[in-house]
Amino acid sequence: MMANDEPPRIFLTLLVCTLGRASSLERLLNSLAAQTSRNFEVIIVDQNPVGVLDPSIHEFPELRITHLRSRPGLSRARNIGLSASSGRYIGFPHDDVWFEPTVVEEVIDTFRRNPKLSAITGQFVDAAGHPLTANLPGEAQITRENIFEAGNAATVFIERAAAQALRFDEALGPGAPTDFQSGEETDFLLRALESGVASWYFPKLMIFHDPVDTAAPLTERTRRATAHARGFGYLMRKHRYPLPYILGKVARTTLGAAWCVTTGDLEGARLKLSWANGVLYGYSKGRPKPVVATKRARAKIK
């Protein structure tokens, strides 16, 4: 386990980057104000026009909030927040999630019961407690093979020393100056694993999130599918996943699109083909991460 030279006064930093979701942010802050443990701070990295969030933040004087500003770019904003964090551990809740009152207490208790762990994750659920993503059925060590069922940045809590050494790749994620508007969270976790950060998945640690809007216009759903797929393909190349693994996923999705056509589901076919094309595009543009970079990151964390 990595340790800082001096134990910080605050156990947990909750780093929230936000843009255009004042009402959702208030819901999150309300849930934080109701926590059974107050051993945390909140860092809000604001990408809205100046003054937009001031009324929302002023509603919660009981919370220890640091309000920072950033230009657009989720990874850029998170790196700004990382530099200002003081908790021993850091979480990265999205601005549209909310917590049960015991979540902070659960995170603290989990790390104290598992002192060899430097990172833990939970699962995304809707208001009724139903999983919103594919998840492993039980507790497990996080690996390259299961990371897509065991890791989501909104449910990640990681030791500050490791997070500040790793930082987020500012070429990835919403608002990045590239075609890869997703994947920054998985990239962060993959680099943590490659650097020797001991990580474990705890499905009982649940973070609430609204379901994906399946009623959105097809053009918007297609845009989201393409963006996520490009990020996924890019990550596969960057982190040296085998080509047969990628082609297998593309082939299965393409066959699924063909089945949609035979059943008359043309919208489903379009979404699947958009995803398959996005993966191939992302993979073609990705650059394998040099092995020496992994060794340097591991040395920096240690």
pLDDT in tens, 186-209: 999 999 999 999 999 999 999 999
| 78-87 residue pLDDT tens | 999 999 999 9
Answer yes or no: do 203 and 266 share one domain.
no
CB 25 within 8 Å of CB 104: no
pTM of the model: 0.90
Answer yes or no: do 227 and 206 share one domain.
no
pLDDT beyond 50 at 211: yes
Question: What's the average model confidence in pLDDT over 39-63?
Answer: 95
Answer yes or no: do 99 and 241 share one domain.
no
The pLDDT value recorded for residue 300 is 61
Answer yes or no: do 38 and 159 share one domain.
yes
CATH number for the domain that contains residue 200: 3.90.550.10
pLDDT beyond 50 at 4: no
CB atoms within 10 A of CB 300: 13
Residues in the chain: 302
| 5-17 residue pLDDT tens | 445 579 999 999 9
| 26-40 residue pLDDT tens | 999 999 999 999 999
Residue by residue, DSSP assigns 109-166 as HHHHH-TT-SEEEEEEE-TTS-BSS---SS-EE--TTTHHHH--GGG-EEEHHHHHHH
- Total number of domains in the chain: 2
Answer yes or no: do 205 and 223 share one domain.
no
Question: What's the average model confidence in pLDDT over 129-146?
Answer: 90
Answer yes or no: do 241 and 158 share one domain.
no
29 lies in some domain: yes
Answer yes or no: do 145 and 247 share one domain.
no
Question: Phi/psi class of residue 167: alpha, beta or left (left: φ > 0; alpha: ψ in -120 to 50)?
Answer: left
How far, in Å, CA of 296 to CA of 197, rounded?
14
pLDDT beyond 90 at 50: yes
Domain with 85 in it? 12-211
Answer yes or no: do 138 and 255 share one domain.
no
Answer yes or no: do 195 and 222 share one domain.
no
The pLDDT value recorded for residue 1 is 38
The pLDDT value recorded for residue 297 is 54
- CA distances 157 to 129, 200, 205, Å, are 20, 10, 11
Answer yes or no: do 132 and 270 share one domain.
no
Question: What's the average model confidence in pLDDT over 65-84?
Answer: 96
Answer yes or no: do 194 and 253 share one domain.
no
Computed on alpha carbons and rounded to an integer, the radius of gyration of the chain in Å comes to: 19
302 lies in some domain: no
The structure tokens listed for 46 are 């604001």
Residue by residue, DSSP assigns 35-99 as -S---EEEEEEE-SSTTSSHHHHHT-TTS-EEEEE--S-HHHHHHHHHHH--SSEEE---TTEE-
The structure tokens listed for 229 are 């797929």
41 lies in some domain: yes
229 lies in some domain: yes
